[in-house]
A = this chain, B = another copy of it.
């Protein structure tokens, strides 16, 4: 996890207890950051609904900061417009940021109007106005500092403050967008800088589930999950939250409440540790990733530096390698096989790179297999439960599923299985760890 060094001073501050918990008439007033994505504000009707909901749930004295994305397809429409000027507008990243940042600027203006129309004072602030300072890597910016003085000022005036997500300005005042998942990151980072009590991320799912509910019928919504577990889930294929925003939450010690735009039921809180009640489960969830491909380099000399040769070539081509197994093919000839996985989207490029290296090494063959998938269990609880791995393997074996590669991290175990068996594998493992009540 790499976070900008310049944020250090903010951490120190936020480690101190919440400055914004002000006790008044026996009730704790809260500072809450609420993030709504593009689909939640896709039409003016939806924008009005968001405002109504937020006002309906607001407790007297609560301070509310909204972070919103561009309306629905606005970003795509703007990209299409730029394509009317040049086939590849992303070659001009600075101008793309100038163009794209208008999307959120429109939605914040409209949402602030919606609050005011409904009778509550509100003010919109662009990312730069809210103090979001970024580096100068246009279209893929990273937040380097946040100075939310203006946000505090407007909150103190009684306003709901509506901030443009996904954007900030660099040291020269140029608009910079944050890249994929940027609005979540904006929201959590702003919550951190404001020392908010919580950051609520409204999305089209109503929380983090023990497995993908589309695959596992009995998947359970988790009340809580730790930052580390959530990051591991995301890394292993569970798409609820972008890892960057979870990292930000951990960094700033901000609880992230993932919940539904469409219902008012509580979602899942991502935090440092669980409260007692939710500690029952050894694992937090079963993640899976179908977009995986396997590459096997067969019959290469088992000499020092062989692994480096293959994987540095892939790294140079910007290809991430995931699971790796090296196995001896022939002890007498000292020949080995190297098997690993890459993202399916990288397969063609990876094959080219590996073919080149394999030629140099006189490999016997390079095989690829696309019908593979990764199933993983994640949970900090497995640290104190040594039998967890064998329970997982047993569950797969019971339904006759062969394991191709195994890899582990501190809080996860992953198995590569046949893609066609993925659904069965996820269900078998889920049944083992989350038996039906």
Contacts and interface: CB of A to CB of B under 8 A. Distances in A.
A126 B84 CA distance: 21
B109 A105 contact: no
Interface stretch (A17-25, A111-119, A196-204, A249-257): A111-119
A345 interface: no
A126 B95 CA distance: 11
Interface of A: 43-45, 47-48, 78, 81-82, 84-86, 89, 92, 94-96, 98-99, 101-102, 105-106, 108-110, 112-114, 116-117, 123-124, 126, 129, 150, 173-174
Contact of A92 (B44, B113, B150): B113
23 contacts: A44-B81, A44-B84, A81-B110, A82-B113, A85-B114, A86-B113, A92-B113, A95-B109, A95-B112, A95-B116, A95-B124, A96-B109, A98-B105, A98-B109, A98-B112, A98-B124, A98-B126, A99-B105, A99-B110, A101-B105, A102-B105, A105-B105, A129-B173
B116 A106 contact: no
Query: How many copies are assembled?
Result: 2
A112 to B, nearest CB: 5
Contacts of A78: 106
A96 B437 CA distance: 55
Contact of A99 (B82, B94, B106, B129): B106
A105 B116 CA distance: 25
Given A44-B84, A94-B123, 8 more contacts: A84-B110, A86-B113, A86-B114, A92-B113, A92-B116, A95-B110, A99-B105, A99-B109
B124 A84 contact: no
Contacts of A110: 81-82, 84-85, 95, 99
Nearest to A48: B85
Contacts of A85: 44, 47-48, 110, 113-114, 117
Given A44-B84, A81-B106, A113 B89 contact: yes
A86 B117 contact: yes
| Among A106, A109, A114, residue most surrounded by chain B Cβ atoms (within 10 Å) | A109
Nearest to A104: B102
A84 to B, nearest CB: 3
A109 to B, nearest CB: 4
A123 B93 CA distance: 11
Contacts of A81: 44, 106, 110
List 8 A-B pairs, minimum CB-CB distance, nearest first.
A44-B84, A99-B109, A102-B102, A98-B109, A86-B117, A95-B109, A85-B113, A95-B113
Nearest to A80: B44
Contacts of A129: 173-174
A304 B420 CA distance: 100
| Among A47, A78, A126, residue most surrounded by chain B Cβ atoms (within 10 Å) | A126
Contacts of A99: 105-106, 109-110
A324 to B, nearest CB: 43
Contacts of A86: 113-114, 116-117
A101 B92 CA distance: 22
A159 to B, nearest CB: 11
Contacts of A113: 82, 85-86, 89, 92, 95
A45 to B, nearest CB: 7
A96 to B, nearest CB: 7
Contacts of A45: 84
A94 B129 CA distance: 14
A15 to B, nearest CB: 30
Nearest to A153: B172
A51 to B, nearest CB: 9
A43 B84 CA distance: 9
A164 B106 CA distance: 16
A143 to B, nearest CB: 19
Nearest to A96: B109
A102 B47 CA distance: 18
Contacts of A126: 98
Contacts of A173: 129, 150
Contacts of A92: 112-113, 116
